Amino acid sequence: MVTQIKTPSTKTIPYIREFPLIGSQYAFRHDRLNFLLHVAQQGDVCGFHVGLVPIILFNKPEHVQSILVEHASDFIRGQRLRKAIAGNGLLIAEGEFHRQQRKLMAPLFQPRYLASYSDTMTQYGERFQQQWSDGVVIDLHREMINLVVNILGKVLFDMDSIETDELVAAIAVTFARSTYVLSSPFAFPLNWPTPHNRRFHKAKQYIRDLLQRIITERLNSTTEHNDLISLLLRARYEDGSRMSDQQIMAECWTLLTAGHETTAVALIWVWYLLCQHPEVYERVQQEVDSVLEGQSPTYDDLPRLPYCLQVFKEAMRLYSPAPAVRREALRDVEIDGYLLPKDATVLVSPYTMHRRPEYFPQPEQFDPERFSPEREKDIPRYAYFPFGGGPRVCIGNHFSMLEGHLLLATLAQRMTFTLVPGQTIRFDIENTLTLRPKGKVEVIVKKR
């Protein structure tokens, strides 16, 4: 059921029928993914309210291109995100400051550096798999996060082992705060001494102290390191100056937080889906066995492991780690004939778009063949966009594709996971911005 709200545009934005004052606050907070699917089912464009704040979901590939690419300069990520996310890194930078930071940081993610990170990714994959003995039960949720955080610790800071448990717990607290601010119309201000806020300040202080220690050590050290923080310290703006220590801290924070949960979540769902589709799992293992012949995969092996990549892409289609991308209009802007007033909030959602049957027939079915070279080219641009698009497309895009591809090949070669029966696996979308599972995902390890 939809009601019509008139705007002075050529087309009228339909809104779902909602409760007065609170709108769809409850469903958006507690059952966000089903709620977004419900909104998407109403039409290509449909609005709803979180409290009194209207939000419009645009759900056609052309809309994604229009909002994230063509009209990129007419939108910002927004005040709400700024309030929700700690620090002042790339993720929340806007306008000219964002352009400057992005220009400085983009080279760090170029292929020549990526190739050098690939050995670290495989080595850690091998190190982790050696710790899991045959027949043991592991929690994929914990292990994939630890694995990815350890890889980031090495790539970012050249640290052989990072204080994973404490760090992951602290980041989780900051994420929970971000989600709460983004999905609640009346979030308590940060200076109120609520238990939530106290936990948040403690977690923030922990991450800040850790990063400060690393930066200070690095500034006082004469040893050469082959890591991202060294590249950040060496990078220069157009006027020849370097980033302030404070900005370096903000960027490391951003890379650490934006870079770990997303890739880890993607990998968790890869294994979960493989466990449920043994025929696909077998094909992955046949590919790695025949191509790698028992050796660890390298950067150069990847083109010969196309099926592994198809599996990774298809897992991110079904369970896109970042299920929605949000923007606020900087000025009045027209998208596909719909006039959006200044400050309007819009969403585009990989989660809903990736389930449009006209682009992905039988969308709930896990089918890596969708990404075979013959079929992938028929997917319209921006019908698949797990990394967003335009000038703010994920800077870690190639990094995480590389990491996912390598870790999938490394672990599939050495072992087979089987889901421990009787588990109920659900999303934890209430507490996080990513598509993290709620609680454990337990598997039994069988060494090959």
354 binds ligand HEM (CB under 6 A): no
Sheet with 415-419, strands from edge to edge, namely 137-139, 442-447, 415-419
DSSP state string for 300-368: GGGGG-HHHHHHHHHHHHHT-SS--EEEEESS-EEETTEEE-TT-EEEE-HHHHTT-TTTSSSTTS--G
> In this complex, which beta carbon is closest to ligand HEM, that of residue 291 or of residue 353?
353
Pick from 394, 407, 411, 433: which binds ligand HEM (CB under 6 A)?
A: 394
58 is an interface residue for ligand HEM by CB under 6 A: no
Q: Does 207 bind ligand HEM (CB under 6 A)?
A: no
Question: In this complex, which beta carbon is closest to ligand HEM, that of residue 232 or of residue 445?
Answer: 232
Shortest CA distance to 249 belongs to which of 288, 207, 217? 207
Task: Name the amino acid, one letter, at 222.
Answer: T
Q: Which stretch binds ligand HEM (CB under 6 A): 13-21, 53-61, 167-175, 256-264?
A: 256-264
CB atoms under 10 Å from CB of 396, counted, come to: 21
Out of 132, 360, 387, 427, the residue judged to bind ligand HEM by CB under 6 A: 387
**Quick one: angle between helices 245-276 and 306-318, nearest 10?**
100
Question: CB under 6 A: which stretch of 171-179, 273-281, 369-377, 395-403 binds ligand HEM?
Answer: 395-403
Task: Out of 120, 146, 352, 400, point to the residue binding ligand HEM (CB under 6 A).
Answer: 400
Residue that is written with structure tokens 């999938």 in the block: 408
Nearer to ligand HEM, 42 or 65 (CB): 65
**How many residues form the binding site for ligand HEM (CB under 6 A)?**
23
Q: Residues near 112 by Cβ (< 8 Å), separated by ≥ 6? A: none
Q: Is 37 buried (19+), middle (13-18) or exposed (0-12) by CB count in 10 A? A: middle
Stretch that binds ligand HEM, among 25-33, 206-214, 252-260, 358-366 (CB under 6 A): 252-260
Do residues 240 and 78 lie in contact, with contact meaning Cβ atoms separated by under 8 Å? no
Considering the complex, state which of residue 173 and residue 316 has its C-beta at the smaller distance from ligand HEM. 316
Could you tell me which residues are beta bridge partners of residue 14? 4
Q: Compose the 85-124 pattern: x for residues touching ligand HEM by CB under 6 A, - for all others.
A: -----xx----------x----------------------
Residue type at 63? Answer: H
Q: Which is nearer to ligand HEM, 69 or 339 (CB)?
A: 69
Q: Comparing C-alpha atoms, which of 437, 439, 434 is closest to residue 182?
A: 434
Q: How far is the CB of 348 from ligand HEM (least distance, A)?
A: 9
Quote the distance between the C-alpha of residue 136 and its chain's center: 29
Question: Under the rule (CB under 6 A), what is the footprint of ligand HEM?
Answer: 77, 90-91, 102, 254-255, 258-259, 262-263, 266, 321-322, 325, 386-388, 392, 394-396, 399-400
